[in-house]
């Protein structure tokens, strides 16, 4: 485990819980933190990840996003399989370099898009036919942790990654709005993705909301699916051929819950499976890059809008009352 802050500690706990995996060591630049998590998980602790690499077959990397590329590249160059937290890198060029390195060395590169392993998300796969419209809201109260990146990289990337797997069509256009409210980066944003097959996804994210809400609604001919990420529930509404008195088709509603699912455990379990079988992860570097590509376009467009608005404001004549 390289990086055992808030999320990295949970990674270490999951590895320690796997009976057929040896957690060799944990790394953190904070020596006290590394020692605490090492003691908790019954393994060695380090402050320099280079000391750990000769001892391991695979690593989880949960360091600040700006450090993802150099740390992951070093591991891949030493033929070590990598589970890399999202977003995989800061730039597409960095993502491409990691993918190339993994391919050249036949190493496993999996990106930590955790919501893919939410049992509610996994349950909707057989229910999808031809989605035409997706409405997604991911809202959270403000927390100081994680504000080194804007809300698009922090939160919206989850929904973009899922939507890119749901709608099997190239992306055509993107329309965005967003604004900084509490931090110097974007804290609330909306993106409308329009695909070449006509399908549309409308995504809203906020990290300054009053309450947490993580839901996605998927509309397709004859049915409507609601995914509640936080409560791990899926509601399906199927429309029948028979009409009601109001003229609408009769509806059949089913709600399924998955209270026992552990997305992080499933993600790590799948990573270990791919390490052992040398098979391609569902969320490989290429899927991580695809999500990053769209996210960076959203961020660039929001920044361009903000700069244009500032320019227009500065050029507008001032009024005095």
Q: What pLDDT does 147 receive?
A: 66
The end-to-end CA distance of the chain, in Å, is: 62
Q: What pLDDT does 58 receive?
A: 98
Which candidate, 278, 283, 284, places its Cα nearest to that of 99? 284
Q: Over 90: is that where the pLDDT of 185 sits?
A: no
Q: Over 80: is that where the pLDDT of 312 sits?
A: no
Which candidate, 104, 160, 162, places its Cα nearest to that of 298? 160
Q: What pLDDT does 248 receive?
A: 77
Q: What pLDDT does 230 receive?
A: 93
pLDDT tens, position by position, 218-244: 999 999 999 999 999 999 999 887 777
- Work out whether strand 188-195 and strand 200-206 pair parallel, antiparallel, or are unpaired: antiparallel
Q: Over 50: is that where the pLDDT of 206 sits?
A: yes
The dihedral of CA 301, 307, 310, 316: what is its sign? Answer: negative
Q: Over 60: is that where the pLDDT of 169 sits?
A: yes
If pLDDT is split at 50, 70 and 90, which confidence band does 316 have? Answer: low
Cα dist. 214→70, 168, 182, 207, 293 in Å? 32, 23, 21, 12, 23
If pLDDT is split at 50, 70 and 90, which confidence band does 116 have? Answer: very high
If pLDDT is split at 50, 70 and 90, which confidence band does 246 have? Answer: confident
Q: What pLDDT does 321 receive?
A: 46
Would you call 49 helix, strand, or coil by DSSP? helix
Q: What pLDDT does 318 receive?
A: 54
Measured distance CA(10)–CA(265) in Å, rounded = 9
Inter-residue contact 67 to 272 (CB < 8 Å): no
| Domains of the chain and CATH, by start | 6-113+267-291 (3.40.50.720), 116-258+296-301 (3.30.360.10)
User: In b/e form, how buried is each residue of 63-89, taking b as 16+ CB within 10 angstroms?
Assistant: bebeebbebbbbbbeeebbbbbbbbbb
Q: What is the DSSP string of 211-248?
A: S-EEEEEEEETTEEEEEETTTTEEEEEEEEEEE-TTSS
Instruction: Tell me whether the omega of the peptide bond preceding residue 118 falls within 30 degrees of 0, making it cis.
Output: no
If pLDDT is split at 50, 70 and 90, which confidence band does 308 have? Answer: low
Q: What pLDDT does 260 receive?
A: 82
């Amino acid at each position: 485990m390289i990086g055992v802050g808030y999320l990295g500690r949970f990674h270490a706990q999951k590895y320690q819980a796997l009976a057929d995996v040896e957690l060799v060591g944990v790394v953190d630049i904070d020596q006290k933190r590394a020692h605490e998590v090492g003691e908790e998980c019954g393994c060695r602790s380090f402050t320099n990840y280079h000391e750990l690499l000769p001892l391991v077959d695979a690593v989880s990397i949960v360091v600040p996003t700006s450090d993802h590329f150099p740390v992951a590249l070093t591991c891949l160059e030493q033929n070590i399989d990598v589970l890399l937290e999202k977003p995989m890198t800061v730039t597409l060029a960095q993502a491409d370099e990691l993918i190339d390195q993994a391919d050249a060395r036949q190493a496993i590169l999996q990106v930590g898009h955790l919501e893919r392993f939410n049992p509610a998300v996994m349950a909707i796969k057989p229910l999808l036919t031809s989605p035409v419209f997706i409405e997604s809201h991911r809202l959270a109260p403000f927390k100081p942790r994680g504000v080194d990146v804007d809300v698009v990289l922090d939160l919206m990337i989850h929904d973009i990654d899922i939507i890119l797997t749901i709608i099997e069509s190239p992306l055509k256009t993107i329309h965005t709005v967003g604004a900084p409210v509490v931090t110097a980066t974007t804290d609330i944003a909306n993106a409308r993705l329009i695909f070449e097959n006509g399908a549309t996804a409308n995504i809203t994210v906020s990290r300054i909301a009053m309450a947490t809400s993580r839901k996605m609604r998927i509309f397709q001919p004859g049915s409507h699916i609601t995914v509640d990420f936080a409560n791990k529930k899926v509601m399906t509404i199927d429309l029948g051929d028979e009409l009601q008195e109001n003229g609408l088709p009769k509806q059949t509603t089913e709600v399924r819950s998955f209270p026992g699912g552990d997305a992080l455990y499933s993600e790590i379990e799948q990573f270990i499976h791919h390490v052992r079988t040398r098979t391609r992860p569902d969320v490989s570097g290429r899927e991580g890059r695809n999500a990053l590509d769209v996210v960076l376009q959203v961020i660039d467009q929001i920044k361009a809008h903000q700069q244009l608005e500032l320019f227009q404001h500065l050029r507008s004549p001032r009024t005095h009352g």
